[in-house]
Copies of this chain bind each other. A is one copy, B any other.
Amino acid sequence: MKARILVTLKNGVLDPQGKAIEGALGTLGFAGVAGVRQGKVFDLELEGEDRARAEADLKAMCEKLLANTVIENYAVEID
């Protein structure tokens, strides 16, 4: 079973890396970029076919390791 986890910064949390990318895109001539926020994506390959169990496990993985829930949101998608 394949799963994807998206970890993104919460609104209001400063993202200097995103700001740097926004500046670089402007320098490269891409006008009209009003904002860039960078996040992380994790593609997981899971054994077993129990989707409910997998979803619970994936959320626990985010809470314990993959996301810093003080400043980051996460979303879990199971294919």
Chain A residues in contact with chain B, CB under 8 A? 6, 8, 18, 21, 24-25, 28, 30-48, 57, 60-61, 64-66
Contacts and interface: CB of A to CB of B under 8 A. Distances in A.
Contacts of A18: 42
Contacts of A36: 42-45
A51 to B, nearest CB: 13
A47 B34 CA distance: 6
10 contacts: A21-B42, A32-B47, A32-B48, A32-B57, A33-B46, A34-B45, A35-B45, A37-B42, A37-B43, A40-B41
A34 B46 contact: yes
A60 B6 CA distance: 23
